[in-house]
Homo-oligomer: A and B are copies of this chain.
Amino acid sequence: MQITILGGGGFLGRKLAARLAHDGALGGEAVTGLTLFDLQEPPAPSAPFPVRCLGGDVADPVQVAKAIPPGTRVVVHLAAVVSAQAEADFDLGLKVNLHGTLAVIQACRTLAAPPRVVFTSSVASFGGGQEARLEDDARQIPGNSYGAEKAAAELLLQDASRRGFLDAVNIRLPTVIIRPGRPNKAASSFVSAILREPLLGLSTDLPVPEDFAVWICSPRRAIDWFLHAMTMDTAPLGLDRGINPPGRSATVGLMLSALESVAGPEARALVRHAPDPGIQAIVEGWPASFTAERARRLLGFSEQESLEEIIQGFIEDDLAATRAERGL
Task: Give Cα distance in the complex from A253 to B94, angstroms.
Answer: 46
Taking a contact as CB atoms under 8 Å apart, the answer to whether A90 and B163 are in contact is yes
Taking a contact as CB atoms under 8 Å apart, the answer to whether A239 and B141 are in contact is yes
Asked if A138 is at the interface of the complex by the 8 Å CB criterion, the answer is yes
Interface string of A149-168 (1 = CB under 8 A from B): 10110011011001100000
Taking a contact as CB atoms under 8 Å apart, the answer to whether B239 and A143 are in contact is yes
Interface-centre pick from A94, A127, A144, A155 (highest chain B CB count, 10 A): A155
Interface string of A88-124 (1 = CB under 8 A from B): 0010001000100010000000000000000000000
- Chain B: CB-nearest residue to A91: B106
Q: Number of residues in A with C-beta < 8 Å to the partner?
A: 26
Asked if A182 is at the interface of the complex by the 8 Å CB criterion, the answer is no
Taking a contact as CB atoms under 8 Å apart, the answer to whether B148 and A155 are in contact is yes
Task: Give Cα distance in the complex from A139 to B144, angstroms.
Answer: 18
- Known A-B contacts A127-B239, A163-B90, A239-B127; A155 and B142 likewise in contact (beta carbons under 8 Å): yes
Asked if A145 is at the interface of the complex by the 8 Å CB criterion, the answer is yes
Taking a contact as CB atoms under 8 Å apart, the answer to whether B159 and A155 are in contact is no
A82 to chain B: closest CB distance in Å?
16
Per assembly, the copies of the chain total: 2
Taking a contact as CB atoms under 8 Å apart, the answer to whether A163 and B145 are in contact is yes
Q: Residues of B contacting A137 with CB < 8 Å?
A: 139
- Chain B: CB-nearest residue to A147: B159
Asked if A57 is at the interface of the complex by the 8 Å CB criterion, the answer is no
- Chain B: CB-nearest residue to A285: B239
- Known A-B contacts A90-B163, A127-B239, A163-B90; A148 and B143 likewise in contact (beta carbons under 8 Å): no
Taking a contact as CB atoms under 8 Å apart, the answer to whether B143 and A162 are in contact is yes
Taking a contact as CB atoms under 8 Å apart, the answer to whether B148 and A158 are in contact is yes
Q: Residues of B contacting A145 with CB < 8 Å?
A: 159, 163
Which 4 A-B pairs rank lowest in CB-CB distance, beginning with the nearest? A148-B159, A152-B152, A152-B155, A139-B139
Q: Pull 26 A–B residue pairs with CB atoms less than 8 Å apart, ordered by A.
A: A90-B163, A94-B102, A98-B156, A127-B239, A137-B139, A138-B139, A139-B139, A139-B140, A140-B155, A141-B158, A141-B240, A142-B158, A142-B159, A142-B239, A143-B239, A144-B159, A145-B159, A148-B156, A148-B158, A148-B159, A149-B156, A149-B159, A152-B152, A152-B155, A152-B156, A155-B155
